[in-house]
Structure 1
Amino acid sequence: MKSDKIRRMREEIVSGPIERTLLKLAYPLIASNLVQVLYNMADTFWLGKLGREALAAPGTTWPVIGTLMHFGTGFAMAGFAFVGQYVGAEKYERANRAAGALYSLMLIFSMMTAIISLLVLPYALSFMRVTPNVLPYAKTYATIIFIGVPFSFTFMAFNALMRATGDTKTPVKISMFTVFLNIILDPIFIFSLGMGVAGAALATVFSNAVGAVIGAYLMMTGRVGLRITRENMRPDWSFYGRIFRVGLPSSIGDSANSFGFVVLTRIIYGFGDVTYAAYVITTRLVNFITSIARGISMAMGAMVAQNVGAERYERAKKIAERTMLINFGIASFAVLTIGFFRVPIFKVFLDDPAVIAESEIVLKYFLISVPFFNGIFVVVRRVFSSAGHTKKSMLLGILRLWGLRIPLSYAFGYIPAVTILGFTMPLGELFGMTSRGVFFGMGMSNFLAALVGLAWFLRGSWMKRIIEED
C-alpha cells in the first residue's frame, strides 16, 4: 500500500477544512457523474431515433436489472465502510485484507447473480405489464446487460475501494474513459452495425469490461493505494461473514427498493407508453443537473467513513449537515431550470406532443419534491451506510418506497375514494383518476421520507464504528 499518500489524505479528511476537502474529493466524482448522465442522455437520444418503444426499453428494464445487481452494491458498500474505517483508524494492512476479500466475494457472487437474473427476467417483464410494443426491446436489452454482470460487479468494487481511501481521481479517470468509449460505440453498434437496442446494451457491457480489467490490473500491481494479492483474495470465510453481516441489509434494502420500482413501473405503465416515456426523459434530465449533488454525497461518504473510523463523530455530523444544505440548493436549481426550459429540451430527445404535454404533469406533481430527496434523504442514507449502519439505511429506503411511494402513488392514481368510520376521503378522485395522482403520491413519498430521515439522523444513533472488535 502507498501508505504515505493515504496517510496524507487521511489527515486532510479527519483534520482539514471541511468545505475544501469535500470539494477536493467531490469534483472528480461530479465530473464523472456528469459524463455518465451525458452518456444516458446520448443513449436516450440515439434510441429515440428508433422510436418511442426503443427509447423506453432501458428505462423499463433498469428496475429489474437494479433489483438483482443491487445485491452486489450492498457488499461493495460494506467493503467501502470497512476499508474507510480501517484507514481512519490507521490500520492499513487490514484495509488491504478487506479489499482482497471483497474482490473475491464479488467475483463469486456475480456469477450466481448473472445466472439467476437471466432465469427470472421473463417473469419480471410479464409482472410489470410491459406493453407488447416495448417487450421485445426490453427483453433483448436486459439479457445482454445481465451477461456482463461479473464485469459490472468487479468494476463497482474497484470504485468503492478507491473512494474509501480518499482516492476519487483514479476511478473517475477510468469511469470517464469507459463512458466516452460507450458514447462512441453507441451509434456504431446501434446504426452502423444495425444492432438497434441490442447494440446499446452491448456497448455498455463492453465498456464496463474494459473498466473492470483496468481496475483489476491497477489493484494487483499496487499502482493505487490498495493492493490485492493471491493471498488476500483467497476465500476468508470469517471475513466474508463480516462483510455479509454489514452488506446484506444494504443489499436486501437496495434490491427491495429496485423491485419496488418494478412495481412502480407497473403502476405508471397503467396509464400507457406516453406517461412512461415522459417519466423516463424527465428523470434523466434531473439526473444531469443533480449529478453535482450526487458527487458531493459520495465524497461526503468517504469523509464520514474515515471520521467515524477515527471516532471523530461530531465532525462527521457537521460534514453531513453541510452536505445537506449544499445539495438541497443544487437540486432546487435543477428543478427550476427544467421547469423553464422543459419544452425545447424535450424536443431534442423526442418531438412527441403527447409526451411533452405529459411531462408538465411529472414536473408539477413529482419533481418539486426532488430537493428533499437529493438534499436530505440521499445524504442521510449515505451517512448511515458509510458509517456501516446498513440496517438503518435499509429500513429508511424500504420505508420511502414500500411504506410510502408505492401505496401513495397507487392510492391517488387508482383508488377513487376510501371511507373510514363514515368519513369519505377522496383519493384518485382529486386528480380525476389520471397519472396526476400517481406522480402526486411519488412526490409526497419524497417529502415524508426526508422528514423521517432527518429526524433519525439527528438522533445520532449512527455515531459508532463497526471495527470495534479489531
Structure 2
Amino acid sequence: MATSAPVKTLQGKFVEGSIMRHVVNMTATGSIGLIAVFVVDVLNLLYISRLGRHELAAAVGYASTLLFFHTSVSIGLSIAVTATVSRAIGSGDYPLARQFAASSLYLIGGISTFLVIVTYPFLASLLALLGAQGETAQLATRFCQFILPSIPLLGFGMATSALLRSVGDGKRAMFVTLGAAFATALLDPLFIFGFGLGLDGAAIANICARCVMAFVGFYAVLKVHHLYAKPSKEVFQRGAKAFASIGVPAILTNVATPVGNAAVTTAIAAYGDQAVAGWAVVSRLIPMAFAGLFALSGAVGPILGQNLGAKRFDRLRQTMRDSLKFTLIYVSVAWFLLAISSHLIARAFDAHGMAEDVIVFFCVFIAGSFLFNGSLFVANAAFNNLGYPLYSTVLNWGRATIGVIPFVYFGGLWFGARGVMAGYGLGVVGFGIASVWLCFHVLKKIEHRTQPDL
C-alpha cells in the first residue's frame, strides 16, 4: 500500500479562516453523499419489491438488521480515525498523521475481517433470532452470505472517507460515498432485472459498489494526499489504544439509535397497521429531511480535532457556537418545508387515516424537536474528538432509553398515536440541552488542564 510518490506537505486547513465557512462547506459535501446513499437505499428496496415476492423484501429487511451491526462497527472505527489523524495534523506532526492513517487502515481491515470470520458460520442462527423463518430465512441467509465477506471493503471506504475529512478534503470524501451510490444505482437494475438474478443480483451490485467505494477512497488517500507511512511499533500501539478508547464507545453510541426506534415502533404498533405505516414513512423521511444534521456530526469532528491539536481553544468554542447556529437555521428551514408540504408527503406515500395523521402531526409539530437532536449530534461528535467518547455513549443511550421509552409509553397512553410521536420529540429536549452544557464544560476543562496558569 506504500507509495513512492513525493510526499505532500499536509496543512491544518481548519486552524485558520472562518469556522462557519468550514462548517458549511464540510457539511454540504457530506450531505450530498448521504442523501445519495439514502436515495439509493430506497431505490434498492423498490427494485426488490417489484419482483413480486414479499419474501424477498422481508429477507432484505432481516439481512439489513443483521448487517447493521458490522456497519456500526465501521462507523465507530471511522470516528476514531478522524479523532487521531486530525489531531496530529492540527499539531503539525505530519509524519505522525501519516503513520496513524496507515495504522487505522491496518486495524479496520483486521477487525472487520475478524468479525466476518466469527459471524459467517452462524448467519442462519442469528437470522432466526431476529424472527426470520422458512423461505424468508433461507433467502436472508443467502443474501448475507454474499454480502458479509465485503464488509472489510465497506470499512476501508469509511476509513478513507474519514481520512479525507481529517485533512479537510470534503469534496473527495463526498466522492467516496457518491461513487458507491452511483454504482449501486446503475448496477442494481442491471443485475436484478437485466441479468435476471433477482436478490442475488442486488447482493452482487452491493459488493461492486463497495469495491468502487474502497477504490475511490484509496486513490484519494494514497495518490492525491499521500497520507500513508509505515507505522513504527510504538505508533501502531498508540493508534490501537486510541481505537480502543474512542472506537468502542463510538460503536456503542451508534447502536443506541435503532434501540430507541424499536421502542417507538413497539409503542405505536398498539394503534394498528396504519399507525405503523405512518411511522415507517416518518422513519424514512427523517434521514432525507435532516441529512444535513447527520453530515454536520461528521463535519465538526476534524475541525475540532485539528484545532485541539493546534491548542486553539478559542476556535474550539467558536466551532461549537457556529455548529449550533447552523443547526438552528437548518432545522428551522427543514421544519417549515415539512410543515407546509405535510399533506403532499402523506399523499405521495398513499397514506390515509391514522397513517396520514401520524405523518402530518410529525411534520407540523415534532420535526422542530430535531433542533435538540442536532445539538446532541454535535456534542457527541465533540466528545468523540476531544477525548471523552464515553460521554457520547451515555448521552445517546440515555436518549434512546430514558428519553424514549417512558415518553412514548405515557404519550401513547394519554393521547394515542399522536402522543407516541409527541413523546418521541419531547424526550430529546433535556438531553439536547444537557449535552451542549456538558460540551462547553469539557472545553473549559481541557483548556485549564492544558494551560495550568489559567
**2:424 alignment partner in structure 1:** 442
Alignment of 1:323-362 (within 5 A): 323-348=323-348, 350-351=349-350, 353=352, 355-356=355-356, 358-362=358-362
Q: Residue 104 of structure 1 contacts residue 235 of structure 1 at CA under 8 Å; is this kept in 2? A: no
The runs of 5 or more residues in structure 2 that have no matched partner are none
Following superposition, the deviation at residue 235 of structure 1 comes to 10
**1:302 alignment partner in structure 2:** 302
For 1:240, give the aligned amino acid: A
Q: Residue 305 of structure 2 contacts residue 385 of structure 2 at CA under 8 Å; is this kept in 1? A: yes
Q: Residue 67 of structure 1 contacts residue 259 of structure 1 at CA under 8 Å; is this kept in 2? A: no
Deviates more, 1:379-388 or 1:45-54: 45-54
| Aligned equivalent of 2:113, options 104, 111, 114 | 111
Following superposition, the deviation at residue 456 of structure 1 comes to 1.2
Q: Residue 400 of structure 1 contacts residue 449 of structure 1 at CA under 8 Å; is this kept in 2? A: yes
**2:433 alignment partner in structure 1:** 451
Following superposition, the deviation at residue 179 of structure 1 comes to 0.8
Alignment of 1:102-141 (within 5 A): 102-118=104-120
| Aligned equivalent of 2:86, options 67, 84, 87 | 84
SS at match of 2:40: helix
- TM-score, length basis structure 1: 0.81
**1:72 alignment partner in structure 2:** 74
**2:44 alignment partner in structure 1:** 43
**2:394 alignment partner in structure 1:** 395
Could you give the per-residue CA deviations for residues 33-75 of structure 1, whole angstroms, max 9, x where no partner exists?
A: 2322332343354445457956676566545433343223222
Change (3 A) 1:265 1:358: closer
Distance 2:332 2:140 in 1: 33
Q: Is 1:384 the counterpart of 2:383 in the alignment?
A: yes
Q: Residue 164 of structure 2 contacts residue 221 of structure 2 at CA under 8 Å; is this kept in 1? A: no
Following superposition, the deviation at residue 138 of structure 1 comes to 5.9
**1:23 alignment partner in structure 2:** 24
| Aligned equivalent of 2:10, options 6, 9, 19 | 6
For 1:403, give the aligned amino acid: I
Could you give the per-residue CA deviations for residues 301-335 of structure 1, whole angstroms, max 9, x where no partner exists?
A: 22111111111122111111111121222123223
Change (3 A) 1:86 1:136: same
Distance 2:331 2:52 in 1: 30
| Aligned equivalent of 1:172, options 146, 171, 174 | 174
Following superposition, the deviation at residue 140 of structure 1 comes to 5.8
The runs of 5 or more residues in structure 1 that have no matched partner are 413-426
SS at match of 2:403: helix
**1:279 alignment partner in structure 2:** 279
Distance 1:273 1:118 in 2: 34
Distance 1:210 1:388 in 2: 33
Change (3 A) 1:213 1:317: same
Distance 2:48 2:331 in 1: 27
**1:248 alignment partner in structure 2:** 248
For 2:290, give the aligned amino acid: T
**2:188 alignment partner in structure 1:** 186
Q: Is 1:430 the counterpart of 2:418 in the alignment?
A: no
Distance 1:341 1:131 in 2: 40
Cα RMSD after superposing both structures: 3.6
SS at match of 1:403: coil
Distance 1:43 1:311 in 2: 45
For 2:316, give the aligned amino acid: A
Distance 1:98 1:159 in 2: 15
For 1:153, give the aligned amino acid: G
Change (3 A) 1:363 1:23: closer
Distance 2:153 2:356 in 1: 37
Distance 2:441 2:152 in 1: 39
Following superposition, the deviation at residue 237 of structure 1 comes to 4.1
Q: Residue 162 of structure 1 contacts residue 170 of structure 1 at CA under 8 Å; is this kept in 2? A: yes
- TM-score, length basis structure 2: 0.83
Percent of aligned pairs sharing the same letter:
21
Could you give the per-residue CA deviations for residues 74-113 of structure 1, whole angstroms, max 9, x where no partner exists?
A: 2221121111010000011111111111111111111222
Q: Residue 81 of structure 2 contacts residue 163 of structure 2 at CA under 8 Å; is this kept in 1? A: yes
For 2:16, give the aligned amino acid: S
Q: Residue 246 of structure 1 contacts residue 388 of structure 1 at CA under 8 Å; is this kept in 2? A: yes
